[in-house]
């Protein structure tokens, strides 16, 4: 598993994640909106989507099913700065693989991605 799509409306978050993941051998692309992300999925075919919950055009939690419908194999990890246990449970119910609170350390993100990879290899 090498392809990660980052969907966040904050440039600095996208840039930091992209560079950190590229340094560890992942192919990355990023998108600012859900519409752009869906377009990129058609040619990039990511295995994991790092999806911010508060986007300019929608709430990430509401778009989990949109991404899973576009590719049922893709694993969505929801990222948010305004999280709660209830929201984490709801994200999982809607099809998210995992949930990360911002601000986060890149090692946390890498750990979650590795966990997705290990689960897929079982």
Distance of CA 87 to the CA centre of its chain: 16
The predicted-structure confidence for 33-77, as pLDDT tens digits, reads as follows: 999 999 999 999 999 999 999 998 899 999 999 999 999 999 999
Tell me: pLDDT of 1 over 70. Answer: no
pLDDT tens by residue, 77-86: 999 988 788 8
Please say whether the beta carbons of 55 and 33 come within 8 A.
yes
The secondary structure element, H or E, covering residue 103 is none
CA–CA separation, 56 vs 93, rounded Å?
23
Helix, coil or strand: residue 49: strand
User: Whole-angstrom Cα distance, residue 114 to residue 70?
Assistant: 23
Q: What integer pLDDT is reported at residue 55 of this predicted model?
A: 93
pTM tops 0.85, yes or no? yes
């Amino acid at each position: 598993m090498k392809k990660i799509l980052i969907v966040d409306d904050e440039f600095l978050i996208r840039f930091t994640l992209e560079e950190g993941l590229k340094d560890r051998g992942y192919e990355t692309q990023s998108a600012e909106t859900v519409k752009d992300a869906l377009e990129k999925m058609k040619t990039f075919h990511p295995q994991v989507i790092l999806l911010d919950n508060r986007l300019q055009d929608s709430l990430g939690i509401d778009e989990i099913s949109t991404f899973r419908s576009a590719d049922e194999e893709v694993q969505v990890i929801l990222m948010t700065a305004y999280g709660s246990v209830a929201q984490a449970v709801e994200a999982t119910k809607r099809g998210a693989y995992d949930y990360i609170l911002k601000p986060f350390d890149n090692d946390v993100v890498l750990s979650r991605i590795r966990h997705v990879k290990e689960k897929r290899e079982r």
